[in-house]
Amino acid sequence: MAWFPELGVNYDMYPARLLPGCRIFIHTTATSDRHARLLFQALGFPFYGKVKDF
C-alpha cells in the first residue's frame, strides 16, 4: 500500500488481524514446540511476547 502513495487507503475496510505484517507458515520435523522454537532461535527468528514453559 505504501508503494502507491497517491491512492487513499481506508484501513477500516480490513480486519485488524491482517494489518500490519504478514504470516509465514513453516513445516519442520520438530517433535515438540520446544524443539521447533530452539530451531528457529538458532536460525535467528525473533520472538515477541512471553515465553511459555514447554
Alpha carbons 38 and 7: distance in angstroms, whole number: 42
| Confidence class for position 30, pLDDT limits 50, 70, 90 | very high
Alpha carbons 47 and 41: distance in angstroms, whole number: 8
Does the model's pTM come out above 0.75?
no
Q: What is the mean pLDDT of residues 1-13?
A: 63
Alpha carbons 17 and 14: distance in angstroms, whole number: 8
Parse the chain into domains and list their residue ranges: 11-42
Question: Which pLDDT tens digit goes with each residue over 33-54?
Answer: 888 888 988 998 887 766 666 5
